Chain A
Amino acid sequence: MATLELPGLIPYTLLATLVAGFLAWRAPSANAARRIALVGSLPAAFVTTLMFARVGVTSGGDYQFVTDWTWVEGLGISLSFGVDGLSASLAWLTAILTPLVILYSWKESHRPQLFFGLLMLLNTAVIGVFTALDLFLFYIFWEFVLIPMYFLIAIWGGSNRRYASMKFVVYTGGASLVMLLGFMAAYFGAGLGTFHIPTLTAVGSQLGWARDFGMVVFGVLAFGFLVKLPAVPFHTWLPDAHVQAPTAGSVMLAGVLLKMGSYGLMRIAFPLFPEAAMAYQWFLFVLGTVAVLYGAFLCLAQDDLKSLIAYSSVSHMGMITIALATFNDLGWAGAAYMNVAHGIISAGMFMAAGSLQHSTGTRLISRLGGVGVKTPKLAALTAALFLGSLGLPGMMGFIAEFNIFAAVWEAFGWWIMLPVWSVLVTAGYYLWALQRAYYGSERRHSEVDWDRIHDVTPEEQAPMVAMVLLAILFGVLPALLLGQMNDWTGTVLALMGGN
């Protein structure tokens, strides 16, 4: 089957989502706002599912649904959109998460119109990042993501939200500026007069960058992406942002925003500078291993459940860094797969943490104990999600981890024995948290009103169940995702090694 074009599909879908967000913001009542937002998020969900399926059925190696509209001709900036094996699943994930998040936050009562409008804006911006095929456009969407996220944290966040939102914007925004420098360097250095990503990456390996130039620019580009990932030691914006953000914000943050970092590395940094990237191979491996282990140990020390899940994101994204450092098919396909796996599972985990807070009034594990008897469904869902995150076979996390570790052995041999222990520590902190909070005998703390504890509500339960089912689906039928990711890996690695 030939690749499908349908120019304009992606930009119009984005526009529709944006308009729906605007309408939700300006809706006359909370009810109207929610309904508009929910319905308005469906076109994007539908279109991205279509694209995801189509790419899966044809080939993940080529860009499909490509739109190429000239914008600023003199500078080589174009409105280019498209998806391939790497981005189709990520765009789909974003578009699927948004209606689920809207559903989860259905009962939001504080300024709901603005809330749902911002969610829709976030949806647009993130899908834009994943589908943009022009560096300039990519940057615009990248920065655009910060705006709704800032407001979501600042207005609906926890007690320390002002600090967290400011930190988030300044830290990641600052890193983005550095990244912009990298973009400019690549633009001028390539001398092709275009920001078009496919054009640039197609010749990336043949551009013959001077070694120093390549190393520096790759480092600069990678810095921006690594801060978003987040890579240790530039990760400290994440715990604060996650803990203070409302559940919807955390879900989107962990589910898709973090993936922007790894996506950027895979889409832009590596293909443009393959030789320089190779030179950084060991550095990336060390960075990833540190993140994986350090993040895991940090989780053990956390009392706040959301903080624990946040650090586990650091740990898992460290796995992706390691996977990228391997430079082989297993690792890269594993990294792409892990992106989606972590997106789905941690989205669910944050929902579970949010439900715990709604139900008991606290997220602090030390204030809980034996709550599981009062919230059996929530306990079961949390357990399922935790088990998925620690890589239990049967769910997609395992496939990702297995592939990645196999790639590590292939690329680094016995060095695998360093990051592999994170699997044990991960299981440790999840089960320990589960046990202290949900299982065991009842420990009635003064801060928790025991009698008012209720189990998870239907609108909270449905999205979490959806996440668990998706994780199981892709765990049992990984080819659904891996097929296209595999194609992409083959194409991009060939491109990079083409020199």
Chain B
Amino acid sequence: MAETHATGLEQLAGVDLAAAILIVALPLVASLGIFLWGKTKWRGGGAVAVAATGAAIVPALWFFVRMLQGGAPTGWSIEWFTVGEYTFTVGFLLDNLSVWLTTLVTVLVFLITLFSTHYMHEEPNEKLRRYYAAKMLFATGMLGTVLMDNYLLMFIFWEIMGLCSYLLIGYWYHKDSAATAAKKAFLTTRLGDILLMVGIIILLVTFKTLSYREIWHHPEFTADNPALFWAALLIFGGAVGKSAQFPLDIWLPDAMEGPTTVSALIHAATMVKAGVFLVARSFPLFVLNPDTFLVVGIIGGVTALYTASMALVALDIKRVLAFSTLSQLGYMFLALGAGGIVYVQAQNGIGFTAAMLHLMNHAFFKALLFLGSASVILGMHHHQDLREMGGLRHKMPKTYWTMMVGTLAIAGIIPFSGFWSKDEVLATAFKAGSYAGVFTLLWVMGLLTALMTAFYMFRMMYLAFHGEARTKHAEHAHESPGVMTGPLVVLAVFAAVAGLWLVTPMAGGFEAVITYPYSEDLGHPHHEEPFALLVKILTEPKTYLSLGVAVAGIALANKYRKGLPAKEAEEPTSGFRGLLYNRYHVTRAVYEPLGNVVGVGLAKLSDLFDRKAIDGAVNGVARVTWWKGGWLRRWQDGRVTTYVATLVVGLTLLFALMTALVPSIRW
């Protein structure tokens, strides 16, 4: 077993090592088992999946509790393979960042899997096993991404998640729309992955290692190397793909073709967060070249506003949530970008904290909202158009109230979780504005986004749950059973209180816990005590500005309380609403031409060239040979006299040549 040198990590051993391995191994084994026996013996595999994910929470919590008690980071690694002077390893890195995120993921995966046992119960077993096997493999992927200690292994699990996303979006693969959406998702994220891979390769060749801590502590880890600037941006490129930021955001709304529980898990709660995690994990790399934070922040802020605008007119309940996910992810990157600037300039780690806090909060309330919408969809007999709903709050009270908690959280109303993180995100953006002017603009955009978020979320809630039932499905809707509402309640509780960790002294407050991994590497950014932070937030006027903006948004949505306005009954096609509804026609205007004209065009051109020019040359050689041969063979006319004549002429020529060329010949 190779020692991780220069990392100063306490080594994982014995029970701890087993626990760490279990976290990743349990879902993997479950996936394999479900794939093999899910159809015949395990009735689709749902029970096994729930058991495995539930069991995985135990070791995660074990580490989580230890972390809260102030445990130091631990790690372990083993050599995987060697090529030349490069050695690649497999290993765990359990520091505050990975432990916290692991616990979050295991809890969410468990709740969502439990929920899906009823949600998917109408599906036949042979299909269900694909669902659960892919879900479990996905869980392995996410947990592996978070827990691994080096870029290569992280990348491998990252791609495994991409595979599962493809499989799950295309779950109903007999549907054209689903198959297309799956392919679109895979290809778009693949583009990001290519950039990520090049970034990783740059790190590999520069430092001869891919272990995070070995890189941060490497003597050549300085800003002198220009390639490192690009490495950071390339790595961010991977995050842009995976977290669906502009301009690679096009795949996420289409990914709603998959089952709603898939959307909840992969496209809201976990996989899309991997990009944020990646940037957080690579924070020291970005710090080397602070200009990279500008890119991160700008893309985050732009995405937040751009995608929020699309949600304003969306008519499908899942689409609203998809756009909102994109928008909130934008917030996280904005926070990381701004936070990086603030960190570099003022040694303050608040931006990083805000991003991570928002990650956690969003995971809870978005999972809640998606599962809630799943509950609605099920109650509506698989109809998800908002225009067909109405008055559901009387038929589905538990769903309604839990979703309301989530909505309040996402809108950023105190004291729900979203308020705390969103406020800190905006505060960081504003603070960064004093160092880099563009962030002030991004702060304004962030405020606008908050307004829009509150608006469209409440619009969605009102259209679905308030007013009168607009169709028979809505009239006959019924509440979902306990196995579904249970997770909703649990998530609602988290969505309500999770954000308070920022201002409560649990383990010294969220900021202290989450910035810990880098405090030694980056030089102990200073942070506030939780209570002081609470006071600061409550006394800062901008807090009330963002609160006010949120309330304004809710007020603007009031008209939907009574029902759907007439002009919104049809899908908008023209004007500004049409533009928003069609997502700014980006896919049709940019990506499709790119794919069809450039991609397929080049392909057809190459094919023509290959068949006509290159192969034409080859066949041409054959044709010329054939033709010349045809011309030559006429000599063989079967007549003796011709042959004799040839003989004579040839002999004469031979004699002549030999006499001329061979000087020593004597006849």
Give residues in B with beta carbon < 8 Å to A.
80-86, 152, 155-157, 159-160, 163, 170, 173-176, 179-180, 182-183, 186-187, 190-191, 194, 197-198, 201-202, 204-205, 595, 599-600, 602-604, 606-607, 610, 614-615, 618, 622
Contacts and interface: CB of A to CB of B under 8 A. Distances in A.
B606 A489 contact: no
A479 B80 contact: yes
A58 B603 CA distance: 47
A232 B84 CA distance: 30
Contacts of B198: 405, 409, 416-417, 420
B81 A482 contact: yes
A330 to B, nearest CB: 5
A167 B204 CA distance: 45
A171 interface: yes
Given A301-B603, A428-B187, 7 more contacts: A167-B622, A236-B610, A373-B174, A394-B163, A402-B152, A409-B198, A489-B84
Nearest to A333: B83
Contacts of B604: 301
A328 B84 contact: yes
Nearest to A479: B81
Main DSSP-derived SS at the B contact region = helix
A340 B190 CA distance: 24
Interface in A377-396: 387, 392-394
A329 interface: yes
A300 B191 contact: no
Nearest to A295: B606
Given A406-B205, A428-B599, A330 B84 contact: yes
Given A479-B82, A482-B81, A370 B163 contact: no
A432 B603 CA distance: 13
A424 to B, nearest CB: 6
A420 B179 contact: no
B70 to A, nearest CB: 36
B529 to A, nearest CB: 43
A362 interface: no
Contacts of A170: 622
A489 B86 CA distance: 13
19 contacts: A167-B618, A167-B622, A298-B606, A299-B603, A300-B600, A302-B607, A329-B83, A392-B163, A402-B152, A416-B201, A421-B194, A424-B187, A431-B186, A435-B179, A438-B173, A439-B170, A440-B179, A442-B174, A489-B84
A421 B594 CA distance: 14
A370 B194 contact: no
A333 B84 contact: yes
A interface: dominant SS: helix
Contact of A486 (B82, B152, B156, B180): B82
Please give me the 4 A-B residue pairs with the lowest Cβ-Cβ distance, nearest first: A329-B84, A300-B603, A301-B607, A439-B179
A110 B201 CA distance: 51
Nearest to A482: B81
B606 A297 contact: yes
A393 B174 contact: no
A266 to B, nearest CB: 16
Interface in A413-452: 416-417, 420-421, 423-425, 427-428, 431-432, 435, 438-442
A405 B201 contact: yes
Contacts of B606: 294, 297-298, 301
A410 interface: yes
Given A333-B83, A435-B180, A486-B83, A301 B600 contact: yes
A478 to B, nearest CB: 5
B84 A440 contact: no
B187 A482 contact: no
A482 B599 contact: no
Contacts of B607: 298, 301-302
Nearest to A298: B606
Contacts of B86: 329-330, 406
A424 B156 contact: no
